[in-house]
Amino acid sequence: MQALLSRELPNLVTPVTLTFAAPDDEFPPSSVALPAIDLFLYDVRENRELRSAEWSTERVADGTVRRHRAPTRVDCSYLITAWSGAGATDPAHDEHHLLSEVILALLRHPTLPDEVLQGTLRTQDAPPPASALQAGRLQSVADFWQALGGRAKAVVHYTVTISVASVAPKLAGPPVTDMVVRLKQGLTRP
């Protein structure tokens, strides 16, 4: 997300810091310069709608066959907030402008583009799907702000679904080349 927004928001008048810090009552931490866009990861859970019971089979160069479970699909949900700089004459206006730029950038990409993927995200079968402006996983945004001790702010909900390799052991062995059927003569009925 940081790479995507860094790429998509270069035309802002003032440089903006992208951070993953908790937006609590001590935000911004000393390491974060304002104005800032905060990408707070608040929920990680399996996406059961995309769960697959399928096993994948791959042939290895030595002639053996490996089977492994499909990867687990995981939803990573973020609350995105904007924070104006100290010298802002109209902080709410500046924050709304920043959020609108973030929304436009995220809506342009229903999946995370290949060129911003890093680490194991690069090797996934398909680009990670994303959704912006959908209902978040929070019961109440007001309760969220109260729990963090911060002041209420406008937020954008954003969820990206990634694949996590199965932790189940891979099964390996020689390929099946013959099938033997044995019939047993049964008892006959009178």
3 state DSSP class of 120: helix
Parse the chain into domains and list their residue ranges.
2-171
- What does the pLDDT look like over 60-101, one tens digit per residue? 787 777 777 788 889 999 999 999 988 888 999 999 999 999
Q: Is residue 131 a contact partner of residue 109, using CB atoms and an 8 Å limit?
A: no
Tens-digit pLDDT profile for residues 19-70 = 999 998 888 898 898 999 999 999 999 988 887 777 777 777 877 777 777 8
Chain segment 93-110, per-residue pLDDT in tens: 999 999 999 999 999 999
pTM for the whole structure: 0.78
**What three-state secondary structure class fits 5?**
helix
